[in-house]
Amino acid sequence: MSLDLPPNDLSHVVSADRAHVWHHLSQHKPYETVDPRVFVEGKGMRLWDVTGREYLDAVSGGVWTVNVGYGRTSIADAVRDQLVKLNYYAGAAGNVPAALFAERLIQKMPGMSRVYYSNSGSEANEKAYKMVRQIAHRQHGGKKWKILYRDRDYHGTTIGTLATSGQDQRAAQYGPYPDGFVRVPHCLEYRKQWDVANYGERAADAIEEAILREGPDTVGAIVLEPITAGGGVIVPPEGYWPRVQEICRKYGVLLHIDEVVCGLGRTGTWFGYQHYGVQPDIVTMAKGVASGYAAISCTVTTEAVFEQFKDDASDPLGYFRDISTFGGCTAGPVAALENMRIIEDEGLLENTVAMGARLMGNLRVLQERHAVIGEVRGKGLFCGAELVADRQTREPLDERRVQAVVAECLAQGVIIGATNRSLPGLNNTLCLSPALIATEADIDRITEVIDGALAKVMG
């Protein structure tokens, strides 16, 4: 079926959407009088909506996902060819793209060994939590069952992953939550909690304090974003990650790094943690793995973690008794293989480093011009600008004005993001994550439009 509908059919699409689609993360009252945005087509960095209006997408599909850009026919062809050959068989068996993608992925992740497939970032993290819990039962007599998570981090939308939400507005009204998840402080120095010179180490020491408070024999793992995404684009300070690694090793706590946003090139390395020289035990990834061309997520472990699920073949409960039905779809790994090939062949990691530096540079120029920009943060094509009402006191800018900046950029045809219903009083960071194919002209256009929007909204 062709989707080349005449204009009157597209207006029908909008009324069908208004009548029947329940949009994610949306208050629907405004749609009683205003049409929701409905996109029709994408090419490279650009999108077109049902009215034919063009947008420059500075957030890779809204939520830092479409890393290689829109309209990649080679991914579509690879998926099509695979689907007609074999679309699915449950993941208890293997399939060709799943085996080949696992091999390619592990080559990019020294020290890691096994890939467990599922469909979303939330699901990949749930799998990891289940692994930690089962290890606690099997190896530690039921102890070491607690999982630490960090203030301002996000790990998903299911009840289990929301139990590890460091973003109170995401978790509010969906409790009660299961036991055994313990919060540690964030590491954002701009909103400092300690007045010390070595902020990174001090913030990491808070993890050790939590482990000692809970009892080291009760703590099995810690889950951390390498660079916090939706919580405000928080790049950990110097010294943070090495100290986290040291603490995890000291207390036998598994280090689970959530690469759902940073994974597959977003920060200019294959994975965010690879900037910091740490060796995780578990890594989860989703969004950029196939750039949104198919649903796929991975829970990747070391061989040492994997080994603990096969050491007693006589125990009927002694293996990872988990399944993800759609983790057996072949579209995900075949799209992921082609996505990875594109990143390599087009030099997109290098482009991300170069364009990321340009984006940060442009944002710093804006910071000099606009007092409302309190801090600019980021790595690669993953940047944030925290907006404040007062630079001295760092009082956050009112969320409505932050959203007005986003709306003004949209009115000028550039889609940017902002922290949204995450942190009470602190939804004040503009978020930028253009596709890894961004050009100098794209980057300059994005910051030029933000410049105009800040001038307009702040008067």
Ligand X SMILES: Cc1ncc(COP(=O)(O)O)c(C=O)c1O
Residues contributing to the site for ligand X (CB under 6 A) = 63, 120-122, 125, 154-157, 225, 229-230, 258, 260-261, 286
Residue closer to ligand X by CB (options 156, 380) is 156
Q: Please work out, in degrees rounded to the nearest 5, the angle formed at the alpha carbon of residue 405 by the alpha carbons of 349 and 23.
A: 75
| Nearer of residues 122 and 362 to ligand X, judged by Cβ | 122
CB 204 to ligand X: min, Å? 19
Taking the complex as a whole, the smallest distance from the CB of residue 371 to ligand X amounts, in Å, to 30
In angstroms, the CA 196 to CA 187 distance is 13
Q: At what angle do helices 331-345 and 348-369 cross, to 10 degrees?
A: 70
Query: Which candidate, 384, 164, 383, places its Cα nearest to that of 258?
Result: 164
d(CA 261, CA 343): 16
Query: CA-CA distance, 414 to 394, in Å (whole number)?
Result: 27
Nearer to ligand X, 372 or 416 (CB): 416
Minimum distance of ligand X from residue 121's CB (angstroms): 2
Strand partners, 48: 41, 54
Name the residue nearer to ligand X (CB basis): 284 or 330. 284
DSSP conformation class of 329: B
Least distance to ligand X, CB of residue 76, Å: 21
Residue 205 or 386: the one with the smaller Cβ distance to ligand X is 386
Q: What are the two backbone dihedrals, phi and then psi, of residue 48, each rounded to the nearest 5 degrees?
A: -130, 140
CB of 163 to ligand X, least distance (A): 13
Where on the phi/psi map is residue 268: left (φ > 0), alpha (ψ -120 to 50), or beta? left
Q: How far is the CB of 122 from ligand X (least distance, A)?
A: 3
- Is residue 408 within 8 A of residue 16, CB to CB? The reply is no
What six digits make up the tokens of 193? 């909690």
**52 vs 178 by CB, closer to ligand X:** 178
In the bound state with ligand X, the residue whose beta carbon lies nearer, of 156 and 384, is 156
CA atoms within 13 Å, Cβ hemisphere of 273: 26
Q: Pick the closer one to ligand X by CB: 227 or 457.
A: 227
Query: Phi first, then psi: what are they for 86, rounded to 5°?
Result: -160, 115
- Side chain identity at residue 210, one-letter code: A
Q: Helix, strand, coil % (nearest 5) of the chain?
A: 40, 15, 40
Shortest separation between residue 225's beta carbon and ligand X, angstroms: 5
Residues in Cβ contact with 445 at an 8 Å cutoff, skipping those fewer than 6 apart: 56, 414
Comparing CB distances to ligand X, the nearer of 177 and 319 is 177
Query: Is 343:264 a contact under the CB 8 Å cutoff?
Result: yes
Which residue do the tokens 């920009």 mark? 373
Task: Please provide the distance, in angstroms rounded to a whole number, between the alpha carbons at the two ends of the chain.
Answer: 49
Tell me whether residue 185 or residue 232 sits nearer to ligand X (CB atom). Answer: 232
CA-to-CA separations, 418 to 37, 202, 308, in angstroms, rounded: 17, 28, 41
Query: Residue 354 corresponds to which tokens in the numbers above?
Result: 């170069």
State the nearest-atom distance from the C-beta of 229 to ligand X, in Å.
Answer: 5
Question: Rounded to the nearest whole angstrom, what is the least distance from the CB of residue 164 to ligand X in the complex?
Answer: 10
DSSP β-ladder status, 219-224 and 146-150: parallel
Please say which residue, 121 or 396, places its beta carbon nearer to ligand X.
121
Minimum CB distance to ligand X, residue 261 (Å): 5
Least separation in angstroms between CB 389 and ligand X: 27
Which residue has the CB atom at the shortest distance from ligand X? Answer: 121
